[in-house]
Amino acid sequence: MSRNATTISQLVAHGFSSLSIQHPPKSKLAAVLILLYENPQSSQLRVLLSTRSKSLRTHPGQTALPGGRKDDTDPDLIYTALREANEEVGLPFPEEYAKQKDGVATTNSIRILCTLEPFLSVYRVIALPVVAFLEDPSVLQVLQPCEGEVDRIFTWPLEGVLDPENVLSNEEGLAVAGSEDWPFNEKEFHKYEDTLVPVLNNTSYRYHRFRSAASPLTGLTADVLIHLAQIAFAPRHTSYVRAAPDQPLGYDLVLEILQGNGERKLEKMITNEAAAAAPSVSA
């Protein structure tokens, strides 16, 4: 794992966000698992993903990280992410967590690295990304999609969210151009569009689409992986502009806007970004 040693070290150094998340009364706590592993042939760092069943009521047919809402019996959100991954794709529990759930397959190959800042959707679902590393990729061979919840399990190169054109152009088995999974040009690997979000004071949201071998990576899943990649591969940045000019970024700011208290902070953020982007007059 020499090629990815620095990447893993940077994620470990990122540490763990507080698991006691401040949230509005009507919101729901959830967690998603970002399971990374190193491809034995290419040494490429890849992430486990799934395509949600088209029969589901919410987000049918979309790409997702394993995860879901916290049960009352879950001791913490890390456990929530692991439990949901076990239920959705059959991922074995790390041995230190398996004692809390009887009769499940276990493994000693999963290492929890860190957690990221929570993500808050406009539906008031607060999702904590839990980042883990799978030391034995052969574990992936035992995964099985949960019938009625998951249509497909697949993996994807994490660096693809930083430089999609260069990374994904070398990816085998991508969705056929013009198909339902990628109704765009053969030479396109990343698309985005800016839309207004009424519940966030009509600020803009940049909706990303990344090409894959299955359903495209979009929306919150794409946002989470972009954020992760910028931490993991720092100081590298995306080869494209990540956010719309007035898009609120960060859990605290989105939470304030949803609660109706974010106008002044949002205005300050936009002003600061405009000042930072202005050309220097001393040149």
State the SS3 of 40-82: CCCCCEEEEEEEECCCCCCCCCCEECCEEECCCCCCCHHHHHH
Closest CA to 219 of 87, 119, 128, 114: 119
pTM higher than 0.75: yes
CA angle 183, 191, 69 (to 5 degrees): 95
What's the confidence (pLDDT) of residue 98? Answer: 81
* Residue 114 resides in a domain: yes
Q: Would you mind telling me the total number of residues written for the chain in this entry?
A: 283
What's the confidence (pLDDT) of residue 280? Answer: 32
Q: Which band of pLDDT confidence, cut at 50, 70 and 90, is reported for residue 39?
A: very high
pLDDT at 139 over 80: yes
Q: Which band of pLDDT confidence, cut at 50, 70 and 90, is reported for residue 261?
A: low
Instruction: Give the structural domain span for 151.
Output: 1-271
What's the confidence (pLDDT) of residue 258? Answer: 76
What's the confidence (pLDDT) of residue 274? Answer: 37
What's the confidence (pLDDT) of residue 20? Answer: 58
* Residue 276 resides in a domain: no
Q: Report the 10 Å Cβ neighbour count for 38.
A: 20
93-94 and 106-107 beta bridge pairing: parallel
* Residue 130 resides in a domain: yes
pLDDT at 206 over 70: yes
* Residue 242 resides in a domain: yes
* Residue 220 resides in a domain: yes
User: One-letter amino acid identity for 71?
Assistant: D
Mean pLDDT of 28-49: 96
Structural domains counted in the chain: 1
* Residue 277 resides in a domain: no
* Residue 278 resides in a domain: no
pLDDT at 222 over 50: yes
CATH of the domain at 201: 3.90.79.10
* Residue 90 resides in a domain: yes
pLDDT per residue as tens digits for the range 91-124 = 999 988 887 677 788 999 999 999 999 998 877 7
